[in-house]
Amino acid sequence: MTRIGTSDLDVRPLSLGGNTFGWTSDEAESHRVLDAFVDGGGDFIDTADVYSAWSEGGAGISETILGRWFAKSGKRDAVVLATKVGKAPGLEGLGAATIRKALDASLQRLGTDRVDLYWAHADDEGTPVEETLAAFDELVTAGKVRAIGASNFTGPRLQQSLETSRREGLAAYVALQNEYNLVRREEYESGPADVVAANGLAMVPYFALASGFLSGKYRPGQSADSARSAKASAHLDTPRGQRVLSALDEVATARGAEVATVALSWLKAQPTVVAPIASARTVEQVGPLLAALDLDLTDEELAALERASR
C-alpha cells in the first residue's frame, strides 16, 4: 500500500480512470470493468463530475454509473474514491458556492456520504485562493471529503495554495493530478515536480498511457478502434514516440508482459508518483493494467526507457 501524500489514504499504486463510463463503455461493460479491477486487487477509482459532458449521457454519467455499481456490488468501502469539481457545465470554477453545490450533486449521483479525495479539476485564477481552500476546508470538517487535491495546476500556483493553507490553517492539497507519461514529461518534471517533492505531496498522473499510445495498439500503417485514436496516433509521427515504442516492445518481450504494463510500471517507479491513472474501455483491458501492480522493472530497464523518452 502507498500513502497519498500527507493524507491518511492508502492505495495500491494504480488508479482506474472513470472517464470511459457512459462514453466508450456502456453501463454493463463499465460495471464489469469495475468488478474486474477491484476483484483483481485494485482499490483506487478516479472520476469527475464533468465526465462525460461530450457523450450522449452528458456530464455526471460516469458518477451515476459508478454509484449504481456501488449500490449493486456493495464495494464502496473497498475503494478509495476520487472525483473532481470545476469543469462541469454550469459549475465551472472554484468559487465556494460552486464547490458546495457540485459536491452535493456528486454525492447524490455516487450514492455515498463522502468523497475520499476531492480534486480541484483546474486552477481558477478568477477566484481568491483563500475562498477556494476555505470551501474545501468546510467540506473536510463536515466529513463529506477526506482529503483534497489539485489538478492541472502549475508549480507556482500549487505553491501559493499550499502556503495559503499553512498561513490560514486550512485543509491543504495532498496530491497533484497532471498529465505525465513516457512521451509527455517536460511539463511536469520542469514545473510542479519540485513543489510536489518539497511538500511531501503525491503525484497521480492522468493520461498515464498517453490516450492509449503507450498500450502498444497504435502502430504505423495500422488503425485502432478508439475514440482517442487521433490524439494517440500523433505520437507515431515523432522520433520520441517511435523510440519509446521500440524500447517498450523490447522490455515487454523480455519480461513476457504487455506494453501497457511496462509503461505503467515505469511511471509508478518515478519520484513522487503514487498511482498512475489508466482507463479500460473493456474488461479485457483491465488485466494489463493490474499486472503493473506486480511488475517492478530493473534499473537497466528503467534506464533504457529513460533514454528513449528523452
Q: Is the pLDDT of residue 151 over 90?
A: yes
pLDDT band at residue 1 using 50, 70 and 90 as cut-offs: confident
pLDDT at 51: 98
- Give the CATH number of domain 2-211+261-297: 3.20.20.100
* Residue 86, Ramachandran bin (φ over 0: left; ψ between -120 and 50: alpha; else beta): left
Please, which pLDDT band fits residue 221 given cuts at 50, 70 and 90?
Answer: low
> Is residue 156's pLDDT more than 90?
yes
| Residue-averaged pLDDT of the chain | 95
At residue 235, the pLDDT reads 80
Among 53-57, 102-106, 139-143, name the one with the lowest average pLDDT: 53-57
Length, in residues, of the chain: 310
pLDDT level of residue 229 (50, 70, 90 thresholds): low
pLDDT at 232 over 80: no
Q: What is the pLDDT of residue 185?
A: 97
Report whether 50 contacts 88 (CB < 8 A): yes
Which grid coordinates belong to 96? 465556494
pLDDT for 218 equals 80
How far is CA 270 from its chain centroid? 15
User: Where does the pLDDT of residue 225 fall: very low under 50, low under 70, confident under 90, or very high at 90 and above?
Assistant: low
How far CA 26 is from CA of 57, 75, 85, 218, 247, in Å, comes to: 10, 20, 23, 23, 34
Interaxial angle between packed helices 239-255 and 299-308, expressed in degrees from 0 to 180 and rounded to the nearest 10: 160
* Alpha-helical runs (H) found in the chain: 27-39, 61-73, 96-110, 129-141, 155-168, 186-189, 193-198, 229-233, 239-255, 259-268, 286-291, 299-308
Banded model confidence at residue 236, pLDDT cuts 50, 70, 90: confident
Give the confidence band of 52 by pLDDT, cuts at 50, 70, 90. very high
Q: What whole-number distance in Å separates Cα of residue 85 and Cα of residue 106?
A: 9
Q: Which of 96, 116, 98 shows the shortest CA–CA distance to 175?
A: 116
pLDDT for 234: 76
- Range 57-80 average pLDDT: 98
Residue 51 annotated in active site: yes
Categorize the per-residue pLDDT at 237 as very low, low, confident or very high, splitting at 50, 70 and 90: confident
225 contacts: CB under 8 Å, gap ≥ 6: none
The answer on pLDDT for 262 being more than 90 is: yes
CB within 8 A of 68, min separation 6: which ones? 27, 31, 111
Residue 111 scores a pLDDT above 80:
yes
The answer on pLDDT for 224 being more than 90 is: no
| Averaged pLDDT, 194-220 | 94
Residue 228: predicted pLDDT? 58
Q: Select the more confidently predicted residue: 222 or 46.
A: 46
